[in-house]
Structure 1
Amino acid sequence: MTDPADLSSIPTIDVHAHLLLAEVEEAVAGHPGLAEARELDARRNGPAALAVSGPMVGARVPKLTDVDVRLAAMDAQGVDVQLVSPSPSHYHYWAEPELARQVCRLANEGTAAHCAKAPDRLHGLGLIPLQHPGLAVELLDHALDQGLKGVEISSHAPGRELSDPAYEPLWARAEETGALVFLHPFGCTLDERLDQWYLSNTVGQPTENAVALSHLIFSGVLDRHPGLKLIAAHGGGYLPTHIGRSDHAWRARPDARRCARKPSSYLRQLYFDSLVHDPHVLGELLRAAGPERVLLGSDFPFDMGTDDPLGALRAADLPEPDFHAVRGGNAAALLKLA
């Protein structure tokens, strides 16, 4: 039996925290593709959401850029370590190859430099250009060369799902190196259907997670790469709590039997953050994926995250070993900090 004192000594680790990098935005400024991407973003989110989001992000710039401000906020939350990833607004999947390479290199180097100011408390993830699969391995290696733990990706790239065979070298390299892949959607392809009441985020993000993870499961990517270390943001969206429907389709329909096992079994091959905003949903996530596959996440410092990730975790009333596993034990093992 594990000594309770050993459990309490585990560091509290938040795997979902973000960073803004001015150098990335300077690199893309003035490109026609940026204006087109912003027009699409405006259509998808709607004017009311944009009117709120601009000031919200502006008020949080110090937490997103200043290491001292970040550390003070972490102390206030009771968080010992953050896994920091660039803001998904830095993906710029519209960029052509050379600009995309520059964006990712700047993001990787900027994230590494930010984390190097507090190396005992901050670890980082870089970016790769999903829109150019031929560059993905090169830039994954670049991220790892900077000392980062892996990379952050969205749920899809224009014209490509994560099941696309063009990504096979990426999955193979990530598996070979042990790199973490953090799946964090940005935008939703349901477009103007979600342009009111911030549905683009509240409904769109969980939908994108579910679609992306389903592509990875049903296509056999996780069969071919069982050692892939993939963390799904936002608790994996709708998929873990509705995985029974996927299992039924796998049993009932031959066109849904592309993967070797029932879909629910793959949840225990993935990792999920705890950011689901409901203690009952969090409990169900632990039941579906296993307590060893859930990691503390806050979406620091955005308004759709939580300022009290430990409070949200305590509200789920988990058994003590599970609480400490999610609080930091699982992440410590994954990040090789233990």
Structure 2
Amino acid sequence: MSRPPTVDVHAHVLLPEVEALVDGLPGRAEARALEARRAGPAALAVSGPMVRARLPELTDPAVRLAAMDAQGVDVQLVSPSPSHYHHWADEETAEQVYRLADEATAAHCSAAPRRLRGLGLVPLQHPQHLVRALDHALGQGLLGVEISSHAPGRELSDPAYEPLWTRAEDTGALVFLHPFGCTLDQRLDRWYLSNTVGQPVENAVALSHLIFSGVLDRHPGLKLIAAHGGGYLPTHIGRSDHAWSARSDAGAGCARPPGSYLKRIYFDSLVHDPGVLRELVRVAGPDRVLLGSDFPFDMGTEDPVGALRAAGLADADFHAVRGGNASALLSTE
């Protein structure tokens, strides 16, 4: 049998059209100020030049494809940079943002449709628009949508999001959970803790909301992919299982121990540690881990296949994570 293509499910595109749309609008300056406070000045001083240096990879499909060739990656699942979420936006602006983001991402991927598959956006701050937004993304030929770990005043366990989970399950759409920012705010404003600690925390909190609230009980067919290996949750799931069994308040919302739900979630492999990756494969199952690089940002890996190989997985598991699982999920074969 031929081996499946190598598929990277965590790769981003930058959409200048979206930023031009929101530039100068009421609320944008306040949102940027909040982002700056959360990250801190030292992080901003590094991040700005880093992103500018990577603009060709983020915006030019030809440059992206050449980089994929160098990495040995056949297919990327391309999602908008999380900086395009703009959860501060009012209803009218939010609709313009997701429509423009969907269309621009689809156009970027159209340069090589067999190698570049895309995801759109939905405005989590306006739950009444989520189904329509998901349908718009699918209508553009995208495979689903990317979401953050929360929206202002709402966690992913909020009942207002039930129509989104139902529609995504019914259509088979992918939902890629990728946080942007952390509500620990200025506690993480030095040493890039806003990312190194903040992102794994946000992943763990968001997934816990989906598990403990029963969302995954009600929507067993939901195709949910968690970035950054699900953050801290998979390696600390024993504490969640203990709470579920020891406390009535913890066990009230979901039918089974929390650890059992890890086998219903897909996780990318971007954990930066071979031992952690082996543990992720153990607790979630080798059929639930997908190759991810965070292309082309500096918190990703330039050699996702090499990082996977370093985990020393069994040959069948290595090839499942390298591309077999994602090929089936994305229907790339």
Which band: TM-score by shorter chain?
A: over 0.9
**What residue ranges of structure 1 are gaps of 5+ in the alignment?**
none
* Alpha-carbon distance, 1:120 to partner: 1.1
* Alpha-carbon distance, 1:184 to partner: 0.1
* Alpha-carbon distance, 1:281 to partner: 0.1
**Structure 2: how far apart are the matches of 1:201 and 1:143?**
28
Listed one character per residue, the Cα deviations across residues 178-211 of structure 1 (whole Å, up to 9, x for unaligned) are 0000000000000000000000000000000000
**Structure 2: how far apart are the matches of 1:269 and 1:336?**
19
**Structure 1: how far apart are the matches of 2:16 and 2:307?**
32
Q: TM-score, normalised by structure 2?
A: 0.99
Letter in 2 for 1:98: E
The aligned residue for residue 298 of structure 1 is 293
**Structure 2: how far apart are the matches of 1:39 and 1:21?**
21
Of 269, 276, 279, which aligns to 1:274? 269
1:198 aligns with 2:192: yes
Q: TM-score, normalised by structure 1?
A: 0.98
The aligned residue for residue 304 of structure 2 is 309
Letter in 1 for 2:60: D
Task: Count residues in correspondence.
Answer: 332
Secondary structure of 1:217 counterpart: helix
**Structure 2: how far apart are the matches of 1:17 and 1:196?**
26
* Alpha-carbon distance, 1:99 to partner: 0.3
**Structure 2: how far apart are the matches of 1:293 and 1:105?**
30
Listed one character per residue, the Cα deviations across residues 116-146 of structure 1 (whole Å, up to 9, x for unaligned) are 1101100000000000000000010000000
Secondary structure of 1:256 counterpart: coil
Secondary structure of 2:8 counterpart: strand
The aligned residue for residue 68 of structure 1 is 62
The aligned residue for residue 315 of structure 2 is 320
The aligned residue for residue 25 of structure 1 is 19
Letter in 2 for 1:205: Q
1:222 aligns with 2:216: yes
Letter in 2 for 1:53: S
Of 137, 144, 155, which aligns to 1:150? 144
Of 157, 161, 164, which aligns to 1:163? 157
Residue correspondence of structure 1 range 173-192 to structure 2 within 5 A:
173-192=167-186
Letter in 1 for 2:40: G
The aligned residue for residue 96 of structure 1 is 90
Listed one character per residue, the Cα deviations across residues 238-278 of structure 1 (whole Å, up to 9, x for unaligned) are 00000000000000000011100000000000000000000
* Alpha-carbon distance, 1:24 to partner: 0.4
Secondary structure of 2:179 counterpart: coil
Letter in 1 for 2:118: G
* Alpha-carbon distance, 1:20 to partner: 0.5
**Structure 1: how far apart are the matches of 2:75 and 2:273?**
23
1:255 aligns with 2:249: yes
Of 105, 128, 140, which aligns to 1:111? 105
The aligned residue for residue 132 of structure 2 is 138
The aligned residue for residue 240 of structure 1 is 234
Letter in 1 for 2:152: P
Q: Contact conserved, 2:223 with 2:266, CA < 8 A, in 1?
A: yes
Listed one character per residue, the Cα deviations across residues 82-131 of structure 1 (whole Å, up to 9, x for unaligned) are 00000000000000001000000000000001001101100000000000
* Alpha-carbon distance, 1:75 to partner: 0.4
* Alpha-carbon distance, 1:32 to partner: 2.4
Letter in 2 for 1:325: A
**Structure 2: how far apart are the matches of 1:28 and 1:286?**
40
**What residue ranges of structure 2 are gaps of 5+ in the alignment?**
none
* Alpha-carbon distance, 1:10 to partner: 1.0
**Structure 2: how far apart are the matches of 1:135 and 1:33?**
20
The aligned residue for residue 122 of structure 2 is 128
**Structure 2: how far apart are the matches of 1:30 and 1:150?**
29
The aligned residue for residue 333 of structure 1 is 328
* Alpha-carbon distance, 1:161 to partner: 0.1
Letter in 2 for 1:331: A
Secondary structure of 1:197 counterpart: coil
Identity over the aligned pairs, expressed in percent?
79
Secondary structure of 2:249 counterpart: helix
Secondary structure of 1:291 counterpart: coil
Q: Contact conserved, 2:114 with 2:332, CA < 8 A, in 1?
A: no
Question: Structure 1 stretches (4+) deviating beyond 6 angstroms?
Answer: none
